[in-house]
């Protein structure tokens, strides 16, 4: 029963959109109707600036982090831990509270991976920062970090269930960035 409650609770936590809530509380336009239409930190920066973007980024990461930390504190089995992590991530992508139309999941994935294996998250942050500094394109940095996350997980925390969830999250992040990939290929992707 605790296992099911953890997984369901993680999905519900993931379903809380930090972008939409932050914009509403700060009197900003709904990020789904502005800029790229994505309810994430990068688009919130376009809509409202750095402060609401930072709040959104932190909120999205925390909602991935906390359910996984709670599952670890309760010493659940590794498969349940992996499913809890995936549920929090899926909640962000397909939020119950916002018509199943969520963001791309980068910050929430980072929160989940930080809880599962902080050295992996640290490596991915380094990749993201390097790519963002060199190319000035947030989506490219996110795609590179996503692509490398299963490799870092396999190297630094070689647990089959955690590698598996890392592969699924990576694949879904890349899928959610498919429009960005098209724009990167045709040279129309915007700098961030």
Q: What is the pLDDT of residues 31-83, one digit of tens each?
A: 999 888 889 998 999 989 999 999 999 999 999 999 999 999 999 999 999 99
Query: How many other CB atoms sit within 10 Å of the CB of residue 36?
Result: 17
Q: Which residue, 75, 91, 78, is CA-closest to 10?
A: 91
Distance of CA 175 to the CA centre of its chain: 13
> Can you give the pTM of this predicted structure?
0.95
Domain boundaries, the chain: 2-186
Could you tell me if 44 and 31 are in contact, meaning their C-beta atoms sit under 8 angstroms apart? Answer: yes
Question: From CA 35, how far away is CA 117, in angstroms rounded?
Answer: 33
């Amino acid at each position: 029963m605790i296992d099911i409650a953890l997984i369901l609770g993680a999905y519900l936590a993931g379903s809380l959109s930090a972008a939409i809530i932050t914009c509403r509380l700060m009197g900003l336009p709904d990020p789904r109707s502005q800029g790229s239409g994505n309810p994430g930190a990068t688009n919130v920066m376009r809509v409202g600036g750095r402060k609401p973007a930072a709040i959104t980024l932190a909120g999205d990461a925390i909602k991935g982090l906390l359910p996984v930390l709670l599952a670890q504190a309760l010493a659940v089995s590794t498969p349940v831990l992996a499913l809890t992590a995936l549920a929090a991530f899926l909640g962000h992508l397909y939020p119950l509270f916002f018509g199943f139309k969520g963001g791309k999941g980068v910050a929430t994935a980072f929160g989940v991976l930080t809880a599962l294996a902080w050295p992996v998250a640290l490596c991915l942050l380094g990749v993201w920062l390097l790519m963002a500094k060199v190319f000035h394109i947030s989506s490219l940095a996110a795609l590179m970090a996503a692509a490398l996350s299963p490799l870092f997980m396999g190297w630094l925390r070689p647990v089959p269930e955690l590698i598996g969830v890392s592969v699924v999250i990576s694949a879904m992040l890349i899928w959610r960035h498919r429009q960005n990939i098209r724009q990167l290929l045709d040279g129309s992707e915007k700098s961030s």
